[in-house]
Structure 1
């Protein structure tokens, strides 16, 4: 590794104390829309290497730009002297987290249904350009888990699909779009969180499969991403007994992090832990102990959310103490610091390379970028159970269509109103309450049902819904959610997978036979 370092990096490392080196391996969450005292102290006093932008940080592009600019200035002038990795979970474009102002792409499952590598790559390119214009240089995306378990409570529509080849191809396309346009991509959640039925936010999932199964299925998209040149891999809190009989979470497992990912798959980039405050970790370990174990396992970046400055300082001190006491070899810290600095150099995040640019409004939500989102959404639309384009006309217009929807389908309703001038509307604040609205309508009422939910819906509730819909003379169902929810749909159904604005627009466009303006 030393031979890989140029003179400048060697000089920087030579001037760093042990505490400085340890700090470069930490990324802590920021929670405020402005650089508050809590975040500033992490940057200037602890001298951390990275900041993750939580939802509270993400309002408008200019606000995010001002926040990240202040963070970088603090790091360079008062902190480590080295620019920060500033990361976010822009898994469906920057617009999926911001309140407004950036493109919100269809989620990965819809991109999988569209199955267009060019458009997938374009979505990555747009996301990179908008993110960098706000000062976000590191995206914890794409998810390359293969979601082949209908009971999976957390991955679901974040995955490109059930097929390893589809997930691999489209994951690599998005990675290419990010990294060729200047933003670090992260393939996650290694070694694969798709075929699980436990959410690692709540407990420790287990992959109970043989090595042969893992090699031929779960690991395939990660292997392909590594071949594509992905610069970061996020290791999940997932136990794999076939590879580590201790049932240690992969993020804390030497067998999985170093032996499998680093050595067998020959991954040379940054290994990032999933959030260490998830219960898949904290049910077993303190955060201080988890940080030590993750570094011993082979992680380069520890992703944490601290309750306070003192809590963050305690984590750094625990790692420093573990090195001084001989529990963590100095060489283990040096190895990761070198990787961090080399990646920062590659992405021009070193003092002599970093050139902050002024804010540019014209980068965001361009017509061409929005068109990419619309094209993906149009290709994703999946008709089921006799649904056809222009179905509302084909049925023969009832006296008046009634739209019954949940509160998340507002954009869809707006587009329908432009075409169906006599449409009436009833809205439930949650999808489960649409049954009550349906039950209060006569069976000959023409109904358009629109439901949005980002996790699998309880099968017993779906049975009640399908029973009620089957009694309707004129009913269609538009589903902005999981494909598993609608495989037994009792009426014509349009599956859209997700509720991004473009998907809602294209759903209305499909039902109205193309009358809605593109």
Structure 2
């Protein structure tokens, strides 16, 4: 997942229509046929979907970055990118499905500050409650730093060959995120790493059976904590040394090898009810000869993930500001093609107003049927409903680094030391 900050042109004014009590909307929408069933009636999520305007629905397709430590604090980067000054104003204008927090965006300093920020962001989104997420894999990727209990990353846990440790670490991580008002963790990494792999320092290992067991346990741990889990990066980022932040990796595995090596951990995650699966910005010509990255590939997302693996949960793209997905198409077309391929949630578009408007225009022109948008939005709303986002959310920043969590951290560290 990307952690870079890319520049963007000055935003254009969003469309004029807006729901009651909301500010004017922001950018785009999307469509494409898919084998997913039509949204079924009943349930809080379905009722909420029925009350949403097209602009509301398109907003739900985006998970964005906002700048600054407080919902009401002005930040020049928000003004430059979004045309409004504070994180709360960005949320009111664009009505995104979620916000992802980063230290480099000024979002993270103390536990109390993060809890106040997430609370303020949610208050700015009264129609459809906002989902706040973070990249907290532990180990190499740990955006919350010293705010939370220090826990080992996947490679160290994988060396113990004990899935119970993966479950415990995920549970502790999830409980601390929940205390900060964060509903989704972009973890676990489900990639099977090959020798020299870019993802090796973030993956559980190179044995598909072991990685599957660890991923299954981690999903259980996150769910025990009441936090959404995201398995990444489908169809597998383990077979390349190329960093998709910098370029588009090409992996030449056969489909048979993919089924044997890369698919099992994602199957395990699906069997355990993983909330979302993140796509990879990798091209796999034996899976899709078009040369497009998996994030933009209907053959990969709709064909393999939804069709062959039977997954009907949320599909989230890896960050759209990464070079691996921007190599062939502009930022507007990338957003539309990701939805057409079968993605539901578009993460970190580098130019949100342009991407939003592109999706909205594609829906209004018929390139993306509105029914296709409804499918994605319903998946996102059901995820929010399942993880308590649609109801009241309480924070408890004093709950992080609890005695019980520190005890788990010491026990896991001892098991890792014994495994060396």
Shorter chain as denominator, the TM-score bin is: 0.7 to 0.9
| Secondary structure at 1:16 match in 2 | coil
Match of 1:505 in 2: none
Shift of 1:8: 4.1
State whether residues 63 and 348 of structure 2, in contact with CA within 8 Å, keep that contact through their aligned partners in structure 1. yes
Q: Aligned match of 1:236 in 251, 276, 280?
A: 280
Bigger drift between 334-343 and 55-64 goes to: 55-64
Alignment of 1:243-254 (within 5 A): 243-254=287-298
Q: Give the structure-1-normalised TM-score.
A: 0.69
Call closer, same or farther: CA 1:255–1:2 in 2, change over 3 Å: closer
In the alignment, does 2:246 pair up with 1:202? yes
Q: 2:349 matched to 1:312?
A: no
The aligned runs of 1:53-452 (5 Å cut-off) are: 53-55=101-103, 56-76=106-126, 81-92=127-138, 96-150=142-196, 152-153=197-198, 155-306=199-350, 311-350=351-390, 354-361=391-398, 363-381=399-417
Contact conserved, 1:94 with 1:130, CA < 8 A, in 2?
no
Question: How far is the alpha carbon of 1:365 from its aligned partner?
Answer: 0.9
Q: Which of 32, 35, 56 does residue 20 from structure 1 map onto?
A: 56
Q: Deviations over 1:346-405 (max 9, x none)?
A: 12222xxx21325351x211222122222222222378xxxxxxxxxxxxxxxxxxxxxx
Cα deviation, 1:88-115, whole Å, max 9, x if unaligned, reads 0010189932242311211100000122
Matching of residue 4 in structure 1 with residue 40 in structure 2: yes
Alignment of 1:42-57 (within 5 A): 42-55=90-103, 56-57=106-107
Q: Distance in 2 between matches of 1:3 and 1:189?
A: 27
Residues 128 and 183 in structure 1, CA contact (< 8 A), matched pair in contact too: yes
Counterpart-to-counterpart distance in 2, 1:284 and 1:6: 41
Quote the offset at 1:121 in angstroms.
Answer: 0.8
Partner residue of 2:68? 32
Unaligned runs of 5+ in 2: 1-36, 79-86
In 2: Cα distance, 1:5 partner to 1:93 partner: 43
Q: CA deviation at 1:7?
A: 5.2
Distance 1:358 1:92 in 2: 21
- Count of residue correspondences: 370
SS across alignment from 1:91: strand
Tell me, yes or no, if the aligned pair for 1:291 and 1:315 is still in contact at 8 Å.
Answer: yes
Aligned-partner Cα distance in 1 for 2:99–2:166: 27
Deviation, structure 1 residue 135: 0.5
Contact 2:250 / 2:284 at 8 angstroms: preserved in 1? yes
Question: CA distance change for structure 1 residues 191 and 204 in 2, over 3 Å: closer, same or farther?
Answer: same
Unaligned runs of 5+ in 1: 384-494, 496-518
- Paired with 2:223 and 2:212, the residues of 1 have a C-alpha distance of 16
Q: How far apart in 1 are the matches of 2:206 and 2:169?
A: 21
Corresponding residue for 1:476? none
Higher CA-based Rg:
1
1:449 matched residue in structure 2: none
